[in-house]
Amino acid sequence: MPRFTIGYVSLVGFALMAPISTLFAPLGAKLAHALPKRSLEIADQVPLAYVVLHLGNPREQFSPMSFEYAYGAIALIRSFCGAEVMIENIPNEVSTLEGLLGKP
């Protein structure tokens, strides 16, 4: 399992995103109230066409668990939202040809 994670949850990501979300939530609420209601209703109905997925973190070592997480995420995104998944290869052992084939 990658360092500083609990299952699929990155503790570093949580530590960074929680305070930022708390700080910007009032701004988002003010913006939502400033926009016409109809524009928010229309934006909510726009389907998600593309999702970009990063295969791991830079310099991440290959492990069967990280391989499973990457392919599991692709399968879940495709099945639940029906979006095209675009994969960005980040230089690491998971995104090498051998890693993508599951043979490190």
Angle at 29 between CA 26 and CA 30, to 5 degrees: 90
Give, in order, the Cα–Cα distances in Å from 95 to each of 5, 84, 103: 20, 19, 11
Looking at residue 43, its amino acid is A
Q: What is the pLDDT along the chain (104 residues), one digit of tens a residue?
A: 678 888 777 888 889 989 999 999 999 899 889 989 888 888 777 777 777 777 777 777 777 777 787 778 888 888 877 778 887 777 777 777 777 676 66
User: Alpha-carbon distance 13 to 9, whole Å?
Assistant: 8
Identify the pLDDT of residue 43: 79
Identify the pLDDT of residue 25: 93
User: Alpha-carbon distance 70 to 72, whole Å?
Assistant: 5
The DSSP-derived string for 19-86 is HHHHHHHHHHHHHHHHS-HHHHHHHHHS---EEEEE-S-TTPPP-HHHHHHHHHHHHHHHHHH-PEEE
* 5 SS3 class: strand
